[in-house]
A = this chain, B = another copy of it.
Amino acid sequence: MNEQDILKDAERHCTKTGARLTPLRRRVLELVVRADAPVKAYDLLSQIDRSNTSAKPPTVYRALDFLINAGLVHRVEALNAFVACPQAGHGHAAVLYICEVCTKVTEVQGARPGQEHKPEGFCVTRSVIEHYGQCMNCR
């Protein structure tokens, strides 16, 4: 799936759900999609700055919050970075395979936990698996 298709898809998804993909948010999404690798908030910020001198940290963090909530972007927790989601608004939890050499990220989704499809030939050296919710006592 190429950049343009992802952006088109995002547009459609927002139209359908009523989310407002403003020019600023769209600009940030474009930057994340084009990065084609996990991208840092302050890198986005400096890229936005080229067109909009007034961009400050809250500018980019708010846009990212919106995009994450809209299901268009995922946060990579262990890298403090962000990647575009190839499947706008999918319901499943994202499972990310991140190559530490070329930085490429492959996102897969499993019908149920444990049934994700590991990318062909990917060799895992470290996994981060954290489930958040309510324990039995706190329900």
Contact = CB atoms under 8 A, between A and B. Distances in A.
Interface of A: 76-78, 93-102, 104, 106, 113-116, 118-139
A98 B137 contact: no
Contacts of A128: 77, 128-132
A131 B99 CA distance: 8
Copies in the complex: 2
Contacts of A134: 99-101, 122-123, 125
A130 B77 CA distance: 8
Contacts of A129: 93-96, 116, 127-130
A106 B136 CA distance: 12
B137 A97 contact: no
B126 A93 contact: yes
Given A77-B78, A114-B113, A115-B114, A133 B139 contact: no
Contacts of A113: 114, 127
B114 A135 contact: no
Contacts of A137: 99, 102
Contacts of A102: 135, 137-138
